Amino acid sequence: MILDWSYIVLVTPALLLAMWAQWSVSSTFSRYSGVTSGGCTGERAARAILDANGLWNVRIERIAGNLTDHFDPRTNVIRLSDGVYSAATVAAVGVAAHEAGHAVQYAVGYAPMKLRAAILPVTNFGSQLSMPLILIGAIFQLTPLVEAGILLFSCVALFQLVTLPVELNASGRALRVIEGQSLLPDEGRRGAKKVLTAAAMTYVAALLVSVMQLLHLVLRFGGRRRDD
């Protein structure tokens, strides 16, 4: 019912881009996980950035998994994965510095990050209910349900739109501190930039997928009231 020509033309290319972006970030991280940082571990890099910004109260913890690194503003904790926390590699420093960048954003009240946190509950609600509402509305020809589903899904696209500058800004902060504190040699800084650029592409792709899905839904169901 939802799979039609517009899905194939609009959404499928975006999904392929998202798959490529995920492959790119994994392969780039793997490549630079084999390049030494000169002794600086992921934990040490994150700690240096936090201390340089007066964030001595932010803790750093190890977490299981691969690329499960994140900053939790609720507990004020940076969690670094096994391949980042104690690894003295260019990839580890880049990823850890990025998460420290999020902690700095939170501390200084970076507006897009505050907006993302504010709309997160609505986004979670919308991502769970939008498609069921659209399907039920389409099956039983209940246009208000379809429109409500599309409106809820638009919150997902909005969340991805707000997320993109948050992630790009965190990477920018990370690269500036890496260079300013000489956490990596010149070649290592270039490698860290490649790791963070590859990661940024996953957010670009996620935004494109959500926008194309929203456009597909509008094209597929937007004219239902007029047709009725």
Residue 75: predicted pLDDT: 95
Q: According to the model, what pLDDT value does residue 141 have?
A: 87
Report pLDDT digits (tens) over 18-27: 999 999 999 9
Residue 225 pLDDT more than 60? no
Q: Which residues of 31-59 are buried (b: 16+ CB within 10 A; e: fewer)?
A: ebbebebeebbbbbbbbbbbeebebeebe
5 pLDDT band, cuts 50/70/90, is confident
* Per-residue confidence (pLDDT) for residue 158, from 0 to 100: 96
Torsion of CA 143, 145, 150, 154, to 10 degrees: 140
Q: Which residues are catalytic?
A: 99
**At 1, is the pLDDT very low, low, confident or very high (cuts 50, 70, 90)?**
very low
Residue 42 has phi, psi (to 5 degrees) of: -60, -45
Q: Are strands 59-63 and 77-81 parallel, antiparallel or unpaired?
A: parallel
Segment 109-128 mean pLDDT: 94
pLDDT tens-digit series, residues 172-195 = 999 998 999 899 998 999 999 999
Asked if pLDDT for residue 159 goes beyond 70, the answer is yes
